[in-house]
Structure 1
Amino acid sequence: MRTYILNDGSKLLLLYIDGMIRLQSIEDNVLRPLINNGLPQGIDRIRSLAEMLGREWLPLTNVKTEQTLEGLIQHILKGSLALLVDGMASSLIAQVQDFETRSVQEPKKESTLRGSKEGFVENIRTNTSMIRRRIVHPDLKMESFTIGRYTQTEVVLAYIRGLASEKVLAEVREKLGRIEADGIIDSSYIEEWIENSSFSIFPQIQNTERPDIAAVSLLEGKVVLITNGTPFALILPVTFWSGLQSADDYFERFVFIILTRLIRYTLTFVSLALPAIYVALSTFHPDMIPSSLMINIATARESSPFPTVIELFLMMFIFDGLQEAGVHLPNQLGPVVSIIGALVIGQAAVEAGLISTPIIIVISLTGVAAYTIPRYSSTLPFRLIRYLLLIVSGLLGFVGFTFGIIFLLIHLVMLESFGTPYLSPVAPFDGKRIKDVVIRYPFWAKKGKSKGGGKR
């Protein structure tokens, strides 16, 4: 709180939080001339300090008036400068925020071989500007919400009028308005508040730190939520296939992406079902395995003290533990611990006779196949389902595996993301939008506007 008295006796009070505004330019350009020279007088006489600030300062910065004490406090806490003039009933709010922010960098979570190298940052104004640079149209709308009792976090709802579904927009606005939280620190807080099925293991909202993906999603009729303080924007609605599609699918030629997607979808199923299928075949249905291969498997397991399902469960648990250790360790140590740890533990377990060699091969193939899933949030449900399928297959063989897959498909068919069926456009079938699921058609072959269903 700083008080200034001018030559004519006028009193001026400045209210701000140190470190959040650029006060030096205001002192040099406005306050020092006022203190030394008083009110500037030209052809049209200026009679008061409030009049001078309205005339002289409005063209220089974003200045507005505030009538209430509560509004004044909120502006100050968000990094604005408040000016109170003696004799003036309202305060002047100057938005001159100046705090340290991270510069725009390449996204680390969604790196691509080709495409934009820009990524969202923690500053919401920078993020909205990166989207507006890509979509230069007046129908791009952005609505602001303030959420969080103590944090007062700004959340921007972005959409393209005429492309986004009004039903989806109404639902999102209603859910944002019902959030009653003490604080919103990250966009993940918003995600848990507004998703349709909180207890489903499948993500119903996509997160991204790439402004180009956010822009493409808006053009597909989706809705984007940008939260201040986090580089991850939320995209909705989404489908099951969104998590299996990579940004590079749209930056490379469509001819090659057809093969890439087929490989990715096949390996996704391998990462989900290979351990369960191996247990079902080797334990309950050995007659389905070629005799020579079954003899080799039985020979390798001759000295193993545990049943096959226990061996697989232990190795999967160790593999996931090493993966978690690699995520939380420093960048220089993470890959070393994950790779060397898996090799050392696996080799030692085989030499000690605790684990058979085919188990190591199955777990290795499962782990490699899981890494082909582009989005980390999409790999988490598969990790859990892998354990569940392993358990039911270890108890009932292929009967348990079949029932597990059926229950999984029933759940996916019943799941929705803001009115969009989770397995669409496959179930229910939509011939117009299915072009971009298994294969990627060339851009010139895609016709029609999507209405909130989206493709990516």
Structure 2
Amino acid sequence: MKKLWTPCLKKLSARLPGASLTLTKKKLDDLTNLIGHSDSVAAEINQITKKLITPDSFEKQEKLPISPILADNLQILQQLFFHCIDVQFRDLAIGREQVTAMLIFIDGLADKNRIDGHIVKSLMAVQCSPLAPTQGIAIQSIKKLFLAAAEVREIATIGEITETILTGDSVLLLDGAVTALHIDTRGWESRDVSEPITESVVRGPREGFTENIRTNTALLRRRIKTPRLRLEKYIVGRMTKTEVNLAYLTGTADDSVLEEVRRRIERIDVDSILESAYIEELIEDAPYSMFPQIEHSERPDKVAAAILEGRVAIVIDGTPFVLIVPTVMIQFWQSSEDYYERYPTAWLVRTVRFVYSTLALLLPGIYVAITNFHQEMLPTALLINIAASHAGVPFPIYVEALLMEITFETLREAGVRLPQPVGQAVSIVGGLVIGEAAVRAGIVSPSTIIVVAITGISSFALPAYNLGWSLRLLRFVFGFLGFISGLYGILLGLLILLIHITSLRSFGVPYFTPLAPFKRQDIKDVFTRAPWWSMDERPVSISGSDANRRRQKYFLKPRPPGNSGW
């Protein structure tokens, strides 16, 4: 069998220079049926079919214009979707003239009920109509008279056909027409709008973004009901062709920032974008910095508030996390709930966050530095207790703290990865058992356990999970600096860290704004949240020409005591 068919296969392979259009799926199937299922012959057939799916052949075929001969178009599409069993080709004959047509869609991405009820039935019911296929008359007639679909537009290339099919829409090809119809039929299964898990609040909306980009943009439109809210579309990723939308308020967003965002999105040249983190790493200013320079959120109210301040939201299809640019460091200490509670409450909560963020970063390093180099700073009774608890431990205090920090991070990671009921049990029981056993075994001292526990709890006070990771990593650095040179090393590390933070930028905006450079107008929303009646301007460092929140030059203020009017 191999001797009989090898010369034939070689001739067939020679006829395929750069994935020639002469070999179709039907021809290969017929050839396979004729020669049987010999392993050696099947291997040679696979080598031939590989020529059909080279990247160069795909790019060449997708640039081709639509041919007026329907058979030629089908031949190209069958090669592009070779061995794609979910791609459906539906033959149709339209009108009295029996114009040959082909409806193409992907089973699972397209809504079959819409296809059957709004497309197939409508086209099969066409009996009388001037459907002469010359000069596009048939396409125009079908588009305007017979298709009961919300979105129908003409496309002219093979690449547009493949893009339409792969996004869940359907394509209608007619014999004799040099254009095809893109018909909106998307209808895949998606997750319903639910409360976001990573940014839960006591008071505020319970809606969160989903993996559907149209649902996410609709959630933004519900909150910002103005035609000034613009949505720009980009397709990123050669293989995934992920849709990316830029959402911003024209006049409110800074034009220079907007142009920079567009430029960076257009420069992305990768094969796949599966989550917003891909784009975040590709467009951020300092990819080697430990600090996140782009904020992400799955709360529509938070993203809408950022857009109203003058920022740009990057909405990516397939993920519930929306990117917000430009980002300043203070944003990671702000929560949506700060603006839903009264301002004295917001002031107290933010103060707690700043204090415990400092503890999460510096407490282990300060503990190691004081116990090793600066014992005179501790009260005598406390120093005696710490020394007594550490008497039987064979390791230095820094090694103790390092072991417990690593154990704590391991338990936290295990609790996240396990199923939720089991993960909580592992985190709580594991921490108690391991901590108690380590103290009894004389591996660590009780004071070290207390310091590590306070540090771990403090790291949960931050609303931003990504900044929490940065502080947790830097905590080990400051612990080492405290171990080798005491508080002097910690102060030197803080100075270097401050220099690094002030040198960062996010899309041209200084990362440490409004503290460095100092912006007096924006300080009212940094360490505390000022009352709404006094926040009359948007952040000056990011907003465009429309910087005022209100048109009036006066604002309602609280009435003084004893006055019944405003």
Task: Give the TM interval when normalised to the shorter protein.
Answer: over 0.9
Supply the distance in 1 between the matched residues of 2:542 and 2:448 (Cα, whole angstroms): 41
Residue 303 (structure 2) aligns with: 214
Cα distance, 1:409–1:33 mapped onto 2, change above 3 Å: closer
Corresponding residue for residue 149 of structure 1:
238
Give how far 1:105 is off: 0.5
What is the aligned partner in structure 2 of residue 175 from structure 1?
264
Q: Residue 366 of structure 2 corresponds to which residue in structure 1? A: 277
Matched, 1:39 2:127: yes
Equivalent pair of 1:280/1:393 in contact (CA under 8 Å): yes
Establish whether residue 268 from structure 1 lines up as the match of residue 369 from structure 2: no
1:92 maps onto 2:191 in alignment: no
Partner of 2:441: 352
Question: Which of 1 and 2 has greater Rg?
Answer: 2
Partner SS state of residue 302, structure 1: coil
For residue 242 of structure 1, give the secondary structure of its aligned residue in structure 2: helix
The TM-score normalised by the length of structure 2 is 0.77
Instruction: Provide the secondary structure at the position in 1 that maps to 2:286.
Output: coil
Shift of 1:288: 1.1
Question: What are the ranges of 5 or more consecutive residues in structure 2 without an aligned counterpart?
Answer: 1-88, 544-566
The offset of 1:40, in angstroms, is: 4.4
Q: Does 1:409 align with 2:485?
A: no
Instruction: Report the counterpart of residue 324 of structure 1 in structure 2.
Output: 413
- Tell me the equivalent position of 1:5: 93
2:114 is the alignment partner of 1:25:
yes
CA distance in 2, matches of 1:383, 1:442: 33
Deviations 1:38-66 (A, max 9, x none): 4246xxx7767534412224663200001
Counterpart of 1:450 in structure 2 is 539
Cα deviation per residue 1:240-268 (whole Å; 9 max; x = unaligned)? 11111111111111111111111111111
Is 1:163–1:451's contact at 8 Å kept on the other side of the alignment?
Answer: no
1: CA distance between counterparts of 2:104 and 2:457? 57
Equivalent of residue 66 in structure 1, options 143, 151, 155: 155
The answer (yes or no) to whether the contact 1:163–1:450 under 8 Å persists in 2 is: no
CA distance in 2, matches of 1:230, 1:33: 36
Structure 1 counterpart SS, 2:188 = coil
Partner of 2:164: 75
Rounded Cα–Cα distance in structure 1 between residues aligned with 2:118 and 2:287: 53
For 1:25 and 1:137, the matched residues in 2 are separated by: 31
Partners of 2:119 and 2:356 in 1: how far apart? 65
Q: Is 2:143 the counterpart of 1:50?
A: no
Determine the C-alpha separation between the residues in 1 that align with 2:496 and 2:123: 75
> Structure 1 residue 133: deviation in Å?
0.9
Q: Distance in 2 between matches of 1:415 and 1:51?
A: 55
Question: Which is bigger in relative contact order (C-alpha 8 A, separation at least 6)?
Answer: 1
How many pairs are equivalent?
Answer: 450
Q: Deviations over 1:404-425 (max 9, x none)?
A: 1111111111111111111111
Q: 2:248 aligns with which of 144, 159, 170?
A: 159
Distance 1:40 1:9, change over 3 A: closer
Equivalent position to 1:107, from 196, 202, 206: 196
Assess if the C-alpha contact under 8 Å between 1:155 and 1:226 holds in 2: yes
1:117 aligns with 2:210: no
Matches of 1:354 and 1:321, distance apart in 2:
18
The answer (yes or no) to whether the contact 1:328–1:334 under 8 Å persists in 2 is: yes
User: For the Cα contact (< 8 Å) 1:160–1:218, is it kept in 2?
Assistant: yes
Q: Deviations over 1:348-380 (max 9, x none)?
A: 010111111100110111111111111111101
Does the 8 Å contact 1:164/1:452 carry over to 2? no
CA distance in 1 between counterparts of 2:510 and 2:140 reads: 58
CA distance in 2, matches of 1:30, 1:408: 62
1:247 matched to 2:333? The reply is no
Q: CA deviation at 1:298?
A: 0.7
Residue identity over aligned pairs, in percent, reads 40
- 1:197 pairs with one of 273, 286, 293: 286
Q: What letter matches 1:65 in structure 2?
A: E
Q: Provide, for residues 425-444 of structure 1, a one-character-per-residue CA deviation record: whole Å limited to 9, x for no partner.
A: 11111110010000110111
**Aligned pairs for 1:276-355 within 5 A:** 276-355=365-444
Is the partner of 1:2 in helix, strand or coil? strand
Match of 1:237 in 2: 326
SS of the residue aligned with 2:171?
Answer: strand
Between the aligned partners of 2:374 and 2:321, the Cα distance in structure 1 is 47
Partner secondary structure for residue 16 of structure 1? strand
Amino acid at match of 1:306: F
1:64-84, CA deviations, whole angstroms, 9 ceiling, x for partnerless residues?
001111111111111111111
C-alpha distance in structure 2 between counterparts of 1:32 and 1:139, whole Å: 40
CA distance in 2, matches of 1:428, 1:19: 53
Instruction: Please say if residues 57 and 63 of structure 1, whose CA atoms lie closer than 8 Å, have aligned partners that are also in contact.
Output: no
* TM-score, scaled to structure 1: 0.96
Residue 219 (structure 2) pairs with residue 133 (structure 1): no
Q: Is the 8 A contact 2:284 2:506 kept in 1?
A: yes
How far off its partner does 1:390 sit?
0.4
The alpha carbon displacement at 1:449 in A equals 2.9
Tell me, yes or no, if the aligned pair for 2:118 and 2:147 is still in contact at 8 Å. no
Counterpart CA distance in 2 for 1:368 and 1:55 is 64
Work out whether residues 39 and 46 of structure 1, in 8 Å CA contact, stay in contact via their aligned partners in 2: no
Q: Cα distance, 1:33 vs. partner?
A: 5.3
**Which of 415, 423, 426 pairs up with 2:512?**
423
